[in-house]
Chain A
Amino acid sequence: MPAFQLTVNGRRRSVDADPETPLLWILRDNLGLTGTKFGCGIGLCGSCTVHQGDKAVRACQVSLQEAAGTAIVTIEGLAPHGLHPVQRAWIEEDVAQCGYCQPGMIMSATALLADHPHPTDTQIDAVIGEHICRCGSYPRIRKAIHRAAKGGAR
């Protein structure tokens, strides 16, 4: 079976696996990028959110063959030389509790800000409402997104 070619965090990668394998597991098990998290496996929790091109997608819902030939960015590649303003805002607002769902939240937040540089609470909820955080970090996520939008730092 031929290997699939995809670009992950700017690097060309070749992966030889079942074409139906969700991108989530290719990232985590084949490429060693464990920052993309497994939460539900059916696209309900958002823990596995990555960027495919300029869109935030659920890596558990994209197969290897669908990812082939596209550019994927994961939390590890979001800001290879330092921190993305959203990551900085996340630290400043002390968002994370257990932290497990946060990479997915951050990937969605960065995609949201690319589309809407100054999102309203409703726009934030529309995106973050597709994610789950059991620790209840939602109010801080909202604050962090507003902070990143303002480009401010404490």
Chain B
Amino acid sequence: MTSRREFLKIAGSASAGLVLGLRLQGKARPGAPAEPVFHPNAYLAIRPDGSALLTVPKSEMGQGVRTALPMVLAEELDLDWSRVELRQAMPGPEFQHLGTGGSTSVSTTWMILRKAGAAAREMLVAAAAQSWGVAPDQCHTEKGTVFGPGGRKASYGELAEAAAHQPVPKTPRLKAPKAFRILGRPTRRLDGPKIVVGKPLFGLDVRRPGQRFAAVLRCPVVGGTPKAWDASKALAVRGVRAVVQVPTGLAVIAEGTWPAFQGREALAATVRWDEGPNAAFNSQDLENQMRSALQGPADPARKVGAAAPALAAAARVLEAEYAFPFQSHTPMEPMNATAQVRSDGATLWLGTQNPNTAQVRAAAAAGLEPGRMAVHVTLLGGGFGRRSGTDFSTEAAQVAKAAGPGPIQVVWDRTDDIRHDQFHPATLHHLKAGLDGHGRIAAWSHHIAGGAVLRSWLEGQKSPGQAETEANGAWDIPYDIPALDIAFAEVQVPVPLGWWRAIEIVPNVFARECFLDEVAHATGKDPLALRLELLGRRGRVKLGGEEVDIARLRRVLELAAEKAGWGRKLPAGHGLGLACHAYDRRTYMAEVAEVSVKKGQLRVHKVVAAVDCGIVLNPEGLAGQVEGGVAWGVSALFSQITFEKGRTVQENFDTFPVLRSPDMPQVEVHTIASLEAPSGMGEPPVPVCLPAVLNAVFAATGKRLRRLPILSADLA
């Protein structure tokens, strides 16, 4: 694996369980619904009563996979949508690639699921045709029923047993998109009715017989260890059962979460830490290192033409530095996992984006083979990349192993969650644009300095694809510029880094699209006109070996600008700004933001988004993702994590403020109708939001904000 791109390809390369014809032996549980009799593959099963059990091979964190992916299966299978029940896939031989991230769930599973559904439908039709003595092509299906000539019909439930004896078709016929009856219709979340009545759906809701609770006292400085402590103070707290040492710190085991927290507080008053080698780490020093790194050698992410001579020969060179801070994920459900470790086997219950790796690592921590660690994936109370990490699941297995055979829920409080996040890294960006005598961009240089998320992901290894991964969003600049120099200069940071909603693309597109705006204003061009000129009338082009359809990007940009009324007269103090990007070369996004700045107060009134993500599976889900992506983007303009004395300054939502309802802009979503293969929507709405807002701030005030977060003094 060389890059995130490779990683995503592997993660998506045909989940196992595609193998048709696989039949599982089910054991009947008393009181449970009748066991499925037709189980042609790992993704679906049909019970004699006609209800369908669909397996979701990706984790649900709010992005809607537990609705969109079942819609794909149900479409090809012609199921009755009201008879669909869901089962969450567990890691195992059938499901080896459950990893959920990179907005890839739809693009990587869509064909697999279509084939799985279509094959099962053909088997049901074959069973019906056989019993009626007619040809299969005389039959058709609708809402869980096969219809034959002469008014004959049979429900899938009635046919299930006979269908199980039919041969599995090797190349099932897929529907033409125009025949879709379920896909493309606004469809509400299947889990919605359970969510609104507070059913136990999340990791923290897991309750097992005999369960205990644990809080871990970790050194606030990453890499620090406890030197001395007095457990008696913790053990004196009512409900505390034990204090055990684990690799991450000291775990207080108790009968409830609160006694565990109270016991931990008592323990904290007695502990002496060896803060280790990172005790002096701080954000200011790191920024100085990043600035030096921008002067030194950098790993090339993409080079086109000869940028250095072109810059040297340019009639005019513009340059600027942009800065993006560390960020925390802060999903509303803090990290947690419930683990039970016995000598013969173990179980994990948790919300994770990474069930297979969680299984392998937790099993290793428990001293077991991975196959002995059962992993139950719950709903995730927010993921945003944080739950791709396995630190919290491995730690839970360590605590459970140290504390004895019963189930233990390790609960992080909000301070744990922020302080021990796997942070989105801070970056500094140095951009240069060389203009020719006509004010056209002859060369573009974008150098990025900061920590490498990919190295953290690979547990310290530097991969050859590191620069390309960290410069994603910078190297795939879609504009027609004759010379490009895009590079990444790594600065080692001692805190763990992780992927965050829309990853490195957020800071990279922020810097790129704001700097392009600077070029527009410096050359007296309209920001929309300049972008359209640089996109040109091109179609599919290769950017660094990957194909991008520039015409699709141009169309979303034009659509967003048109719908937002680009160029219209605005009230005093208001401004419009825009940005566009082909996210991971797959999802085409443009956003136009309208802001006002009055008395130093920035208000984002409205964001108009245009998107082309190929075939839209669920328009309702898509709209939700754009709204959520805009919320994430606006929130990121105002938040930051800083380090002093090796630890985060921020500890909770008072010091790490996130977007709240009164500051949520109105969001308008426009979609391009398309028959292209569907791509992802969880992340793409985020990156363009930040530069659209900041470019609007410039339009409103003439102030160019190059440094995030926005501080009140910036607009005073």
Contact = CB atoms under 8 A, between A and B. Distances in A.
Interface of A: 17-18, 21-22, 25, 28-30, 32-42, 44-45, 47, 74-76, 78-79, 83, 87, 90-92, 94-103, 106, 124-125, 128-142
Interface in B199-218: 199-202, 204-205, 207, 213
B502 to A, nearest CB: 13
A91 B196 contact: yes
B630 A136 contact: yes
B654 to A, nearest CB: 6
A36 B627 contact: no
Contacts of A74: 198
Interface in B60-79: 60-64
Among A38, A44, A99, the one with the most B-chain Cβ atoms within 10 Å of its Cβ is: A99
Interface string B84-125: 000000000000000000000000000000000000000000
A140 B627 contact: yes
Contacts of A44: 652-654
Contacts of B193: 83, 91
Interface stretch (B45-53, B127-135, B327-335, B390-398): B327-335
B199 A35 contact: yes
A45 B192 CA distance: 21
A78 B379 CA distance: 22
B414 A91 contact: no
B111 to A, nearest CB: 26
B198 A28 contact: no
A18 B258 contact: yes
Contacts of A92: 188
Interface stretch (B444-452, B587-595, B660-668): B660-668
B196 A29 contact: no
B257 A25 contact: yes
Interface in B580-624: 620, 624
Interface residues of B, number: 64
B388 to A, nearest CB: 15
A87 B197 contact: yes
B298 to A, nearest CB: 34
Given A18-B258, A75-B197, A133-B332, A99 B381 contact: yes
B439 interface: no
Given A36-B198, A91-B196, A95-B192, 5 more contacts: A34-B205, A97-B63, A102-B196, A103-B198, A134-B382
B271 interface: no
Nearest to A91: B192
A23 B393 CA distance: 27
B80 interface: no
A91 to B, nearest CB: 5
B434 interface: no
B239 A18 contact: yes
29 contacts: A17-B258, A18-B262, A28-B204, A29-B257, A33-B198, A34-B200, A34-B207, A37-B381, A44-B652, A44-B654, A75-B196, A83-B197, A91-B188, A94-B192, A99-B195, A100-B202, A125-B661, A128-B661, A130-B660, A134-B384, A134-B658, A135-B382, A136-B630, A136-B632, A137-B627, A138-B661, A139-B664, A141-B661, A142-B661
Contacts of A95: 192
Interface in B316-334: 330-334
B251 interface: no
A6 to B, nearest CB: 16
Nearest to B624: A97
Contact of B631 (A94, A96, A98, A135): A135
Contacts of B213: 29
Contacts, number: 189
A99 B380 CA distance: 9
Contacts of B411: 38
Contact of A29 (B197, B258, B632): B258
Given A97-B628, A98-B382, A100-B381, A40 B191 contact: no
A100 B333 contact: yes
B75 to A, nearest CB: 19
B661 A47 contact: no
Given A34-B198, A37-B333, A98-B61, A137 B192 contact: no
Contacts of A97: 62-64, 624, 628
A81 B330 CA distance: 35
A103 B667 CA distance: 24
B259 interface: yes
B684 interface: no
Lowest 4 A-B CB distances belong to which pairs?
A35-B198, A136-B631, A100-B381, A98-B62
Interface of B: 60-64, 188-189, 191-193, 195-202, 204-205, 207, 213, 238-239, 255-259, 262, 330-334, 379-384, 411, 413-414, 620, 624, 627-632, 635, 652-654, 658-662, 664, 666-667
Given A91-B193, A94-B192, A136-B627, A100 B667 contact: no
Contacts of B63: 97
Contact of B195 (A38, A39, A79, A96): A96
B667 A139 contact: yes
B333 to A, nearest CB: 5
Contact of A99 (B258, B379, B667): B379
Nearest to B259: A18
A38 B381 CA distance: 11
Nearest to A136: B631
B299 to A, nearest CB: 33
Given A40-B414, A42-B654, A131-B661, A100 B332 contact: yes
Nearest to B329: A134
B256 A30 contact: yes
B177 to A, nearest CB: 23
A34 B204 contact: yes
Contacts of A78: 197
A28 B200 CA distance: 10
Among B620, B630, B661, the one with the most A-chain Cβ atoms within 10 Å of its Cβ is: B661
B379 to A, nearest CB: 7
Contacts of A87: 196-197
Contacts of B383: 98
Contacts of A37: 202, 204, 332-333, 381
A129 B661 contact: yes
B631 A138 contact: yes
Contact of B188 (A42, A76, A94, A124): A94
B621 to A, nearest CB: 8
A26 to B, nearest CB: 8
Among B193, B196, B333, the one with the most A-chain Cβ atoms within 10 Å of its Cβ is: B196
A1 to B, nearest CB: 9
Contact of A140 (B60, B330, B624, B659): B624
A90 B258 contact: no
Contacts of A83: 193, 196-197
Given A134-B331, A136-B632, A96 B192 contact: yes
A98 B661 contact: no
Contacts of A35: 197-200
B189 A136 contact: no
A18 B258 CA distance: 9
Nearest to B238: A18
A95 B414 CA distance: 24
A83 to B, nearest CB: 7
A137 B381 CA distance: 13
Contacts of A33: 198
Contacts of A76: 197-198
A41 B413 contact: yes
Contacts of A96: 62, 189, 191-192, 195-196
Contacts of A129: 660-662
Given A94-B624, A99-B191, A136 B196 contact: no
Contacts of A45: 332, 653
Contacts of B667: 139
A18 B184 CA distance: 54
